[in-house]
């Protein structure tokens, strides 16, 4: 199996390394014709405006849209999530071109700029159910977007509380969860819709390969085969711990 990784800019090398740890080859994709050699694609995190300009320069958008429409598995992380969204807000003047296909509205840099990057423990019951391991995932958010709205066919895989000092456009009906202290607003940070997977965070920057394994199951057909990442009895849970990265912890 070979998985294409869009290699215009951003953390494509880290995705290729994560795939290698699962015994899968990652193929760098920079030109439209190279998409013909792969049956799945990862669009990595990076600077979304820069990536869009480079994709436009290489005339990649028509080929990427066709790739999505053909039902081939595509996973977008951070900037890649913005690429896959049908609608993006909070963009720079003039906006950026999108691939689309994922029925959601994404807010670019929802959590702030580079200095507001953080780590957070998020609940991932779907991932734990199919890939084993802990019921939570230590997620790395770097200039991260967030999903404000999703369509009826979109499956939410993870969400995160909105910071108390964060102002959100009232036209978006954010998820709310009743707690003893009142209603807590949340934004969505991971979704799946048919052949498309989107995460607002960077699994490729952690030692936990369960998101990559989950995507590989999408490539093979949901529910088919078995995952190498499933924990066996007595397996060391420390394998799933995040390496030391100097980012603040989001509470």
Helices marked H in 89-201: 125-131
The tokens of 206 are what?
A: 């952690």
Q: Which residue has the tokens 């990784």?
A: 5
Q: Report the distance separating Cα 162 and Cα 186, nearest Å.
A: 5
Count of residues making up the chain: 251
List of E strands, the chain: 2-6, 25-29, 41-43, 74-77, 85-89, 102-107, 118-123, 136-141, 146-150, 155-161, 175-179, 182-193, 196-199
Supply the residues annotated as catalytic.
Answer: 78, 202, 204
């Amino acid at each position: 199996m070979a998985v294409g990784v869009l290699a215009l800019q951003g953390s494509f090398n880290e995705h290729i390394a994560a795939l290698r740890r699962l015994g899968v080859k990652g193929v760098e994709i920079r030109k439209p014709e190279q998409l013909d050699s792969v049956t799945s694609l990862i669009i990595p995190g990076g600077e979304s405006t820069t990536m869009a300009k480079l994709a436009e320069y290489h005339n990649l958008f028509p080929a990427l849209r066709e790739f999505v429409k053909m039902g081939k598995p595509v996973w977008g992380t951070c900037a890649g999530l913005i690429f896959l969204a049908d609608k993006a807000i909070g963009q720079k003047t003039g906006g950026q071109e999108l691939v689309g296909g994922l029925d959601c509205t994404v807010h670019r840099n929802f959590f702030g700029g580079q200095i507001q990057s953080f780590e957070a423990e998020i609940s991932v019951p779907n991932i734990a159910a199919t890939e084993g391991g802990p019921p939570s995932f230590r997620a790395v958010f770097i200039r991260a977007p967030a999903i404000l709205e999703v369509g009826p066919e979109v499956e939410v895989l993870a969400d995160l509380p909105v910071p108390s000092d964060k102002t959100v456009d009232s036209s978006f009906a954010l998820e709310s969860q009743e707690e003893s202290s009142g209603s807590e607003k949340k934004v969505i940070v991971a979704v799946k819709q048919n052949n498309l997977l989107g995460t607002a965070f960077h699994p490729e920057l952690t030692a936990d390969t369960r998101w990559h394994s989950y995507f590989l199951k999408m490539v093979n057909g949901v529910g088919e085969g078995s995952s190498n990442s499933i924990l066996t009895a007595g397996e060391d849970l420390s394998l799933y711990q995040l390496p030391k990265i100097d980012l603040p912890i989001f509470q």
